A and B are shown apart, each in its own frame.
Chain A
Amino acid sequence: MYEHLETAENPEGLRRVVIDPVTRVEGHGKVTLLMDENNRVKQARLHIVEFRGFERFIEGRPYWELPVLVQRLCGICPVSHHLAAAKAVDQLVGVDTLTPTAEKLRRLLHFGQVLQSHALHFFHLSSPDLLFGFDSELSRRNIFAVLEAYPDIALHGVMLRKYGQEVIRTITGKRVHGTGAIPGGMNKPLTLLERDELLKELTSIETSAQKAVEIAREMFFKDARHSVFAMVESNYMSLSRSDGALELYHGGLRARDSEGGVIFDHVDYREYYNYLREEVRPWSYMKFPFISALGKDAGWYRVGPLARLNNCDFIDTPLAEGLRKEFVFFGAGKPVSATLAFHWARMIELLHCAESIRRLLLDEDILGTELRVLGERRFEGVGVLEAPRGTLIHHYCVDESDLVVKANLIVSTTSNNQAMNESIRQVASTYLDGHDPSEQLLNHIEVAIRAYDPCLSCATHALGKMPLQIEAFDCDGRSVFQLVKSIEGS
C-alpha cells in the first residue's frame, strides 16, 4: 500500500504543495503534498476538520431536541442524522420496536434521502469528471456543461434528485431540515393523496434509476484506468439484515476483509465500541477508526456504497439484485476494490431505493395512523444506520433531568479517513510523482476524494468553481511559485 507516503522521512527541504480547501462545504478539507526537487512525492495527506465540537455543543440539551438539532450537521444528508438520532432517542424512551407504520414511514423517508443524495453526488458532482475527463477544461467540469453536452444524462440526475427531495418534503414538510421522526415514532401520517402523488412519477423514476446504473457502469468501463484509479485493498464495514440482505436503515454490523472473509457479523450495533476503536494522529484533527481485532495498522476499513455491496449477500429488490450480481462478477470472487466503482455501487443502491419506495408506497401499513409508542425511560441510546456515504453512529447518554451528558458521533467520513488518505497517495504516486503539479493533475486527487464522500464532493464539485491555491516553497522556505484558481474558476 502507500503508508510510506504518510510521513516523509526528511521533510526539511521538501517543497509543500497545498490544496486548500479541497472542499467548499465549511472549508473543511485540504490536501498537502511534500515533493523533492525532482517533483517526487514524499508525503501526501488529506486533512479534514469536520463537525468539531458538535458533540459538546449538544451536551446539556434535552434529548427530544436531538433529532432536529443534529440535522444541522449537514445540508446534504440531514435526514440521515435526523433518523440516526431518532433511533437512539427511541431507546431513551424505552422503545425497541416502532409501530409498523412509523417504521415504514421512516424507511420511506430514508430511501428518499439516499435516492436524492446519490443522484446529486453522481450526476451533479462527479459525472463531469467522468464524462469530460479528469484533465478536461476546467470550465466544463460542472453540471451546466453536462446539461449542454449530455442533456439526457443531466435530466436523469435532476429528475431523480427532485423525486427524492419530494419524498422527503412529503413526509417532513420541507426538502431540507424538516421534521418527521419523534421519540418513539413519527409526527404525522402519510395521506392517501400524498401517497398517490408519489406513485404518479415512480415509473419514470425507476426507468431513470435503471439508466443511471447503465451510465455509471458504462463510465466505469470506458477507460481501463478507472478500475485501478485510486484503488486500495481494504476491509469493509456496513449494516446488513439478519438474512444477509443489503440494509440501509436497521441491521447488524458486518465487516469483511479484502478477500471477502468475514471479520465479524450480526453484531448488535449498540455494542459498536467493542469492535471499533479510534486512533489519533498528531497531524490530523480527524480520528482514524479501525477494527480493534485487527489492530490499527491492518484494521482500517471502508464504508459506503462500495462496502455495502461488497458486504451484502443479496439485495431484496429484483432489478437492483440483478445488477448487483453483475457487480459481484466483476470482483471475480473477491470484494470489488476499485475506488471508482463506488459510483457504480451507488447507482445500484439508487435503483434499490426507487424499487423500495414503490414497495413501501403499496404497503397498506404506510397509510396507517398508529405512529407512536413509548416505554420505560432509559439513559443510553445508540442509533446506527447507513447514510448515503456510509455507516453513521449516534450515541447519547442522558441524565435524570433528560439532558444529554455525553454524545459520540462517528460519521462515515471519519470511517473512510484512512482509505481516502490511501487513495490520494496512490493517485499522487501514480499521476503527480515526477511531474509539475498542474491544476489538471491536482483534479485527479479531487476525483479520488469525490468517489468516497458527497460531503467533500459537495464542496469540491462546486459546480466547477472550487477555489484552489497551490504554493511551492524552496528549501529555505521561500515561496517559489503560486498556482491559484479563483472562486470564478480563472
Chain B
Amino acid sequence: MGGLFFSWSSPLKAVEGRMGLPKRADVLVFAFGNMSRGDDGLGPLLLEQLTNGLCNDPIVSAGRIEFITDFQLQVEHILDLVGRRLVLFVDAHVNLSDPVQLTELFALSDKSYTSHAMTPSAVMAAYKVLNQGKTPPCFLLSIQGKNFSLGAEISSEAQSFLGNAVSLAMELCKNPSYDFWVSRTTGFSEYRSTPS
C-alpha cells in the first residue's frame, strides 16, 4: 500500500501547505464546555467576556489572537494547533484547590482518546505524533465549578471566580510571551507528564 500514501516527513507541515492556510494567529484561546450544564459553561462564558474585553485591543485587530469554543475536545482539534506559538485552553474544573489556576501542559497519551472528550494533553500528544515530536507551548486556565447539572445556571460561586479568570486571561492575551505565561502559572496540571 506504500504507493498510496504521502511521504511527508511531517504530515502537519504538509497540511499547512496543502490547506493553503493564511498565516494563522500566533495565539489561540480555546475554551470548551457546555453552557447547558451549569458551571461547565465557564469556559465559553469566559471566552465571551474575553472577546468583548479585547475587541478594541491591537492584538485582536492585528489578527494575532484567535478564539475558539466547542463542547469537548476531539482528535479533530489537533488541526487547531497548527501554526500556533502559544495556546491557552480554558475549562471548568470540579476538583480544584484554588478558584482559578493556570498550569503549563505537556503532551500525555492518556486513554481519553477512547472517549468523546479528550484531555488537552491528549490532543497535544496526538499533535506531537504528527509533528515530529513538537507541540506549541500550551497552558490550561482552570476555573473552579460547583454545579454541573443539566439545565442549571452558573452558580454564584463560579460566577465570582469567573471575574478573576477573565482578568488573568486578559493579562495573558496582552502579554503573549511564553516566559510571561510561565511566570503566571499557579500550579501543576493533573495532565502533567514530561515536557516535550
Residues in chain A within 8 A of chain B (CB atoms): 75, 124, 142-144, 147-148, 150-155, 158-159, 161-162, 165, 175-176, 200-201, 203-204, 207, 211, 214-215, 218-219, 222, 462-465, 488
Contacts and interface: CB of A to CB of B under 8 A. Distances in A.
Interface stretch (B15-23, B89-97, B142-150, B177-185): B15-23
Contact of A158 (B8, B21, B78): B78
B48 to A, nearest CB: 14
B84 to A, nearest CB: 16
B4 A144 contact: no
Interface residues of B, number: 28
B129 to A, nearest CB: 5
Contacts, number: 74
Given A142-B113, A158-B76, A464-B114, 8 more contacts: A144-B126, A144-B129, A150-B5, A151-B8, A159-B79, A203-B20, A218-B1, A463-B113
16 contacts: A143-B75, A147-B129, A151-B8, A155-B130, A165-B76, A203-B20, A204-B18, A204-B19, A204-B20, A215-B1, A219-B1, A462-B114, A463-B114, A463-B115, A465-B114, A488-B111
Contacts of B113: 142-144, 463
A211 B31 CA distance: 33
Contact of A151 (B71, B76, B130): B130
B149 to A, nearest CB: 18
A162 B73 CA distance: 12
A155 B82 CA distance: 13
B11 interface: yes
A162 B4 contact: no
Nearest to A466: B114
Contacts of B171: none
Nearest to A176: B71
A464 B113 CA distance: 9
Nearest to A119: B76
Interface of B: 1, 4-6, 8, 11-12, 15, 18-22, 70-71, 75-76, 78-79, 109, 111, 113-116, 126, 129-130
Contact of B126 (A147, A176, A207): A147
B79 A153 contact: no
Contacts of B11: 151-152, 155
Nearest to A208: B18
Nearest to B113: A144
Given A151-B11, A151-B130, A144 B18 contact: no
B18 A162 contact: no
Given A143-B75, A200-B20, A152 B8 contact: yes
Contacts of A165: 76
A274 B130 CA distance: 53
A175 B115 CA distance: 17
Contact of B76 (A142, A161, A203): A161
B20 A201 contact: yes
